[in-house]
A and B are shown apart, each in its own frame.
Chain A
């Protein structure tokens, strides 16, 4: 598959008589499918990894889902028209893929060699205690219904209500009510654990 240009090519500067098209400036919007994908891989791989960790608990499942999302992102990027920010678009693709994902052992066995090394392990921070608490947090998020899970993840990633609306299609008041309930549930769970100890 070759590169597909999805944005107009950089215009030739009329004052420049060399006829050579100006190269994109560093930090400007990437212009091709492949450049966009590279940017997603470099800048937003953590975002995909978080969605993966929230929707799949075991390492093999996570690798499988991570692969599915990467393929879905690659397929969806030609339709990215800059009407939303790139991370918002990647969130949409990642969540829609995660919500429709079904684990397939056969496919996983075939794909593991290709993608396994690409998935960052988010639950191994410098402090081992934080790692344990993060694993617990992901397990609790995983227990939430898929829509609540999505909302909690977006909230923890500090997405605004406008962005959450753009990703999920839910209205802002509904998002507020739901997030309030989910936060209460989570804090209640942590209190129960602390009381047990």
Chain B
């Protein structure tokens, strides 16, 4: 088959004009977009709420049980607030990356792939910081558990149980993040880098 025959074959494709209802399709797209976004915005709202409500609860606890005002509890609260603010910061960065990609959608492929590559590099940098955050999360969780269980100091078993739960939870999350980094982000980064090199001659 010559290239002319291939071109003829290509032209023979049936291209039915849109017969459906574009208005109905737009409605479906709206639902789809809302579904894409709601979870992220829910997370941002939930974490913001936790950051605001934690000091309030801490203060109220202190009003009814004096030992909640101990320095250990204050440090524990401060650490939890740091974790909350850091999580919020990374979530907002992820939303901004999405928005940057959206802004570029109608640009040349070269510009879009360059943005996608910059985005994935930024995400990988976030993950690298996040791996250290796991250690910080373990310390924070452990300290919170210890601060809550030191009164009364009768039995250490509940504390051990809670510490084990924190280690399993944070460790599991860290493992899932690590796998996502290695299985998805690294190959995607390499693919985008190669595509961009091809587009830049």
- List residues of A whose CB falls within 8 A of some B CB: 1, 34, 37-38, 41-43, 45-46, 49-50, 67, 70-72, 74-76, 79-80, 89, 92-93, 95-97, 99-100, 102, 110-111, 114-115, 117-118, 120-127, 130, 133-134, 137, 145-147, 150, 156-157, 166-171, 174, 183, 186-187, 190-191, 194
- Asked if B147 is at the interface of the complex by the 8 Å CB criterion, the answer is no
Given that A72-B105, A115-B28 are known contacts, is A130 also in contact with B9, CB under 8 Å in the complex? yes
Asked whether B7 lies within 8 Å of A111 as measured between CB atoms, the reply is no
Given contacts A80-B106, A130-B9, A168-B108, contact A99 B195 (CB under 8 A): yes
CA distance A158 to B109 in the complex (A): 19
Q: Assess whether A170 is in contact with B105, with CB atoms less than 8 Å apart.
A: no
Q: Provide the residues of chain B in CB contact with A49, threshold 8 Å.
A: 15
| Residues of A contacting B64 in the complex (Cβ-Cβ under 8 angstroms) | none
Residues from chain A with a CB closer than 8 A to the CB of B104 are: 96
Stretch of B43-51, B110-118, B132-140, B148-156 on the interface side: B110-118
Interface of chain A, helix or strand or loop or mixed? helix
**Total number of residue pairs linking A and B with CB closer than 8 Å:** 147
**Contact with A41, one of B1, B9, B18, B107 (Cβ below 8 angstroms):** B18
Contact assessment for A1 and B195 in the assembled complex, using a CB-CB cutoff below 8 Å: no
Contact of B1 among A169, A170, A187 (CB under 8 A): A187
Contact (Cβ within 8 A) A120 B9: no
CA distance A70 to B105 in the complex (A): 12
In the complex, the chain A residue whose C-beta lies closest to that of B14 is: A125
| 21 A–B contacts, CB within 8 A, in A order | A34-B23, A34-B26, A41-B18, A41-B25, A43-B17, A43-B18, A74-B33, A76-B106, A79-B105, A93-B106, A96-B113, A99-B112, A100-B113, A115-B28, A118-B20, A120-B15, A120-B16, A122-B15, A134-B10, A168-B108, A186-B6
Q: Using Cβ atoms and an 8 Å threshold, which residues of chain B touch A38?
A: 22-23
